Chains A and B, each alone.
Chain A
């Protein structure tokens, strides 16, 4: 067959990925990041930003990539490894963000925090998120997968609407949200009194700011943000390492066995429920960490009317699906591709379009946008689309999700799922293995005979 060769080559590539060859994965990640940095720097330069502006564009992109990667890695532990369909990610992130504010925020601000040291706040936030995860998972884990989905999305809305409720205002700030977060670690590194906005920089700060000033970057806030982003990348590395260790451990192999066939895992004497609860709690703790580092320390302000909506959960899911669930490298890649290209890039489009000086008309309804098409005038429609870029983004995401599910359920980057055994079973007779898999995928009775 003529199409055999590229396909063969492709599956060879896949095999190399799924083996998790360290150098391939690392270089893939590096190439992606360098490409994204170049792209965003180019966008910044095209828009005529100065050096600080270009750095800021690249920094905010990297920050978003890092926090998405964190959340996606956490979700991958639950869904990719154990097949637990948690669509309450936003809720667990909210728990983490609020908890770090409550534990380590200043006792004098409103809503008051406890003023504990930051490491205790972060560990506490992860523990609280894990416990909330236990509460959500306990009833649902013994039921069908889609019940867990409904229970977790309900949990995330319980958390968000409770954070909005006025009786809890002393802790959450209710509708006003909270800004009472501890100073982020990058500030602590550079300032004598990190909690004070007007504080003078310490010796390290003087030195670092001096270096940046010699390149014409005068914004000290940008330097702090860049440092924090670098710290986040380190955390992503640590979580990646943790997931990888978990996935390759005997514990992780049981998880993959549960994902493939829970009945078999149970027949082999594994207490599958305990395994599921443990990995669910670990995933929720990491989601709590992501929330604490992203909305908590990173953004420094949280508001339940705009943050932690269920849509955030779906963003993270889409990122994981793009990368291919079941693979840690895929998680990070998916997070990067989604955050940078699908989420952030469209926000620059209206700025870029503005540089063309098209004098786009702004029709105020869809009818005014389409009727000029009859007289072959597409500009009102273009103007309408640009003005509605936020809604367009959601539509594109939705279409992408449907397309992925129909054509690439294993993710855009191919089948990267790690198998449940420690040796590669697919290696010996790949062709026969593949036909068996397609047949196996078609059977409908999976849900009934469990």
Chain B
């Protein structure tokens, strides 16, 4: 059934391309922006997927790790790029206008790179502290208890950020270089901006790095062994506590990077950006198959493209239905392929 719908939609897409009601540049724009936003979902999803398979619980605070990365990274970028414009305190709190400070990869590349690094480090620290305080005392608890505790963690982190940074949604990036690639290829106006390229590069480097880590190193093997069977891993002499910490380092770091890149691409920041992303990240992880790195990335890209390309059919007032349709996709995946694209062990 779902397959038939997909085929019908694809045929309709071709028809629209042929009869000219959908320009190739529009479609390319959808695919490109979908790919970029999907990579961010994927990056965040890797961490969620790892903690899900290794620690055996759905971490509802994962979105908050994304938010922590976004704020810590941009506070740093503001401090680096905006020296002298305002007091350090106001820069840290992202108070000066975005245009004044001018954080963008073209005008302040150093600030962006330092911001990304700090986003990763700060989120890792937060993830480790939270693990020590919250999750370590309840290692033996069931998944549902951990899930509920993670909802509590999500509340605490989100509203601490709200108290520090406020609940408004300021713009924090300056405009950046845009490249009109479509015209040269004869496909009409198709814009790629420098921030999207940075996201593409950063995401590719991080994904390949994580893949190599998981497949080539002893740590990676230990993590996969633990995901399969924790007790068996422990009797084989794998230091499970250390592996759990490494999982949080990896997952937290990637979530932090995803948060920083998300704000870099969308331009605005708010205390609830990660929370709003959480369900989409879950959708990406379940679609890809829990525990699979490539699955999370692929799932993220599919969710991102579906979200953007749905505009072909959901135009005008119907664009309001994009989010419901994306979430409905999540339920459909659970219905027809609960183990995901790469997975195969999670159903009972």
Check A445 for interface membership: any CB of B closer than 8 A. Answer: yes
Contact indicator B324/A165 (Cβ below 8 Å): yes
Q: Which of A143, A165, A398, A400 contacts B320 (CB 8 A)?
A: A165
Q: Which residues of B contact A406 (CB under 8 A)?
A: 134, 137-138, 149
Contact indicator A366/B164 (Cβ below 8 Å): yes
Contact indicator A365/B89 (Cβ below 8 Å): yes
Given the interface pairs A314-B151, A395-B155, the reply to whether A402 lies near B134 with Cβ below 8 Å is yes
With CB as the reference atom, state the residue of chain B lying closest to A174: B320
Give the CA-CA distance A402 to B338 in the complex, in Å. Answer: 29
Contact indicator A146/B334 (Cβ below 8 Å): no
Q: Which of A138, A151, A162, A405 contacts B148 (CB 8 A)?
A: A405
Give the CA-CA distance A164 to B327 in the complex, in Å. Answer: 15
Q: Which of B134, B142, B162, B332 contacts A391 (CB 8 A)?
A: B162
Query: Which residues of chain B from 108 to 157 have a CB within 8 Å of any chain A CB?
Result: 134, 137-138, 140-149, 151-156
Contact indicator B140/A444 (Cβ below 8 Å): yes
Q: Which residues of B contact A149 (CB under 8 A)?
A: 58, 144, 147
Q: Which residues of B contact A157 (CB under 8 A)?
A: 279, 323-324, 327
Size of interface on A: residues with Cβ below 8 Å to B: 54
Q: In the complex, how many residue pairs between chain A and chain B have their CB atoms under 8 Å apart?
A: 164
Interface 1/0 per residue, B288-319 and A, CB below 8 Å: 00000000000000000000000000000110
Contact indicator B328/A158 (Cβ below 8 Å): yes
Q: Is the interface of B mostly helix, strand, loop or mixed?
A: helix
Check A321 for interface membership: any CB of B closer than 8 A. Answer: yes
Q: Which residues of A contact B151 (CB under 8 A)?
A: 314, 317, 398, 401
Give the CA-CA distance A409 to B146 in the complex, in Å. Answer: 10
Check A21 for interface membership: any CB of B closer than 8 A. Answer: no
Given the interface pairs A143-B348, A321-B148, the reply to whether A155 lies near B320 with Cβ below 8 Å is no
Minimum Cβ distance to chain B for residue A206 (Å) = 48
Contact indicator A394/B338 (Cβ below 8 Å): no
Size of interface on B: residues with Cβ below 8 Å to A: 58
With CB as the reference atom, state the residue of chain B lying closest to A366: B164
Q: Which residues of A contact B231 (CB under 8 A)?
A: 444-445
Q: Which residues of A contact B46 (CB under 8 A)?
A: none
Give the CA-CA distance A162 to B318 in the complex, in Å. Answer: 10
Q: Which residues of B contact A155 (CB under 8 A)?
A: 327, 331
Give the CA-CA distance A154 to B146 in the complex, in Å. Answer: 19
Q: Which of B143, B144, B153, B323 contacts A402 (CB 8 A)?
A: B153
Given the interface pairs A399-B152, A406-B138, A446-B142, the reply to whether A367 lies near B93 with Cβ below 8 Å is yes
With CB as the reference atom, state the residue of chain B lying closest to A405: B149
Interface 1/0 per residue, A404-444 and B, CB below 8 Å: 01100100000000000000000000000000000001101
Q: Which residues of B contact A441 (CB under 8 A)?
A: 140
